Amino acid sequence: MLKREAADGVFHALADANRRAVIERLTRGPATVSELAAQLGVTVAATVQHLQVLQDNELVRSEKVGRVRTCQIDPAGLRNAEAWLQRQRTAWEHRLDRLGAVLDDQTEESGS
């Protein structure tokens, strides 16, 4: 079985359009759960469920003061996804460099 990476949860969380919309909104600054629910056009309960997935994957953090819960971006989850993407990019760059070298060698051999 494949090892589950921290980035798996991040990509799962971001696979949902409403959760991506929450992230996009929070990049402009903190927002209350009610504000996010109004933007999404869904109930507060549905918004809380989306926020729980985002919090579980370190994409959002929230703080409750009195009866108001305010959310903001948590960069830790995005760092996990970014690190995974960087590893993939590096691996593919090495593969393509090796392929380029093989093709160069073949071109030189056929030209000789």
Distance of CA 66 to the CA centre of its chain: 30
How much of the chain exceeds pLDDT 70, in percent? 96
- The answer to whether the predicted template modeling score (pTM) of the entire model surpasses 0.75 is yes
Domain count, the chain: 1
Give the CATH number of the domain where residue 35 resides: 1.10.10.10
Would you give the end-to-end CA distance of the chain in angstroms? Answer: 48
pLDDT at 106: 87
Residue 43's domain comprises 4-110
The C-alpha angle with vertex 31 and arms to 74 and 44, in degrees rounded to 5, equals 105
Check residues 84 and 25 and name the one with the higher pLDDT.
25
What are the pLDDT digits (tens) for 76-97?
888 888 888 899 999 999 999 9
**In the predicted structure, residue 4 carries a pLDDT above the cut 80:** no
pLDDT at 52: 97
